[in-house]
């Protein structure tokens, strides 16, 4: 009626959604959409998940679709891989990816290699997901970033979301993919709200695996990061903008396959590159990006060596002040940018 009278109705506004709720929405929508999808892991059912990612799903879908498992990563990851080979689409939650080391044989030797070794006759549509990298005050055995570890292995797809849209869209894409996908989330982002567009609120919203996103346009230097460090890059870009330095911030989103084309196009525009990650420096994601740029056409556009900002090359300390200094901070990114630009 208002439209007939000449009034223009505004579209539904974007809303603030936490990463936790975005992941919960994705699981709910995919469980509803495809009866082959099921979730298993420690405390995912009756307790609603250790991080409440699966809140309400057991009550809605029951014991056959949301399954509590014993504390045996090797066991329940093996069950999930076998189920995927048999035609189901399991989502296997690790309480932290540090514990996925208990199941590394299942993830790499069983899930990642089977399609190739069966000449394509056996697909393994499985998602391994859970928190990755450092949390807060959980010391060395709970703070590793496994992006480089899993990104190293052919047969896997590896995604690493930052925002709520990343989290929802990548998880839905991962569940629908016919290949094994490792989804590396950040525990420290679970409670962080991000703006979610009207499109991202729909049930068919997916983020394509293998496509990076330019979070901020810039002309002086390219910042490339994944997961929580994307937020640090955005903060650093805001600081540097006040000094007349405009950073282009790329949210990698996917570790494997890596969208190097987007990085190359940005470097061709800015002529400078800084990579940022929470993982260790040796053989890291940043090292791979730098190597790919050096080997490709974008190398000719660089006006200075690429600079890496990484976690410290030590097991994670427990003490907070040492932990803070072992992870990239905004000041470290600002320093690296000024180094790259020689200012």
Q: For the chain, give every domain's residue range.
A: 16-201, 213-341
Residue 214 to residue 132: CA distance in whole angstroms: 23
Q: Is the pLDDT of residue 7 over 90?
A: no
pLDDT tens track for 23-70: 999 999 999 999 999 999 999 999 999 999 999 999 999 999 999 999
- Overall CATH class of domain 16-201: alpha beta
Q: Identify whether 261 is a catalytic site residue.
A: no
Q: Would the CATH topology of 16-201 be identical to that of 213-341?
A: yes
Q: Is the pLDDT of residue 240 over 90?
A: yes
Of 42, 93, 142, 215, the active-site residue reads 142
- Overall CATH class of domain 213-341: alpha beta
Outline where the chain has alpha helix (H): 19-33, 57-61, 73-85, 104, 113-117, 147-151, 164-176, 229-241, 260-270, 285-295, 320-326, 330-341
Q: Is the pLDDT of residue 14 over 90?
A: no
Q: Is the pLDDT of residue 327 over 90?
A: yes
Q: Identify whether 29 is a catalytic site residue.
A: no
pLDDT of residue 13: 77
pLDDT tens track for 96-113: 999 999 999 999 999 999
Of 29, 30, 42, 73, the active-site residue reads 73
Pairing outcome for strands 181-185 and 127-131: parallel
pLDDT of residue 12: 60
CB 232 within 8 A of CB 133: no
């Amino acid at each position: 009626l208002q439209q007939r009278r000449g009034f223009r109705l505004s579209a539904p506004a974007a809303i603030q959604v936490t990463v936790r709720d975005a992941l919960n929405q994705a699981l709910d929508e995919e469980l509803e959409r495809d009866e082959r999808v099921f979730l298993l892991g420690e405390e995912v059912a009756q307790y609603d998940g250790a991080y409440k990612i699966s809140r309400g799903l057991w009550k809605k879908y029951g014991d056959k679709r949301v399954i509590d498992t014993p504390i045996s990563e090797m066991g329940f990851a093996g069950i999930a891989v076998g189920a995927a080979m048999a035609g189901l689409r399991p989502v296997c939650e690790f309480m932290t990816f540090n514990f996925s080391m208990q199941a590394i044989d299942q993830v790499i030797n069983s899930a990642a290699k089977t399609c190739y070794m069966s000449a394509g006759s056996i697909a393994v549509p499985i998602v391994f997901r859970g928190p990755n990298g450092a949390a807060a005050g959980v010391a060395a055995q709970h703070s590793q970033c496994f992006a480089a570890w899993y990104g190293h292995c052919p047969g896997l797809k590896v995604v690493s979301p930052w925002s709520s849209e990343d989290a929802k869209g990548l998880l839905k894409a991962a569940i629908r993919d016919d290949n094994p996908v490792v989804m590396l989330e950040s525990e420290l982002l679970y409670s962080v709200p991000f703006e979610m567009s009207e499109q991202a609120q729909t049930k068919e919203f997916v983020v394509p695996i293998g496509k990076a996103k330019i979070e901020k346009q810039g002309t002086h230097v390219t910042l490339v990061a994944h997961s929580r460090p994307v937020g640090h890059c955005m903060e650093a870009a805001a600081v540097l903008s006040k000094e007349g330095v405009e950073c282009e911030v790329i949210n990698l989103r996917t570790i494997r396959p890596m969208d190097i084309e987007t990085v190359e196009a940005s470097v061709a525009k800015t002529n400078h590159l800084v990579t940022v990650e929470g993982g260790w420096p040796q053989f890291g994601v940043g090292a791979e990006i730098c190597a790919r740029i050096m080997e490709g056409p974008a190398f000719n556009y660089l006006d200075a060596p690429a600079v890496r900002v990484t976690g410290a090359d030590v097991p994670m300390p427990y003490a907070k002040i040492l932990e803070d200094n072992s992870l990239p901070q905004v000041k470290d990114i600002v320093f690296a940018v000024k180094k790259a630009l020689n200012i």
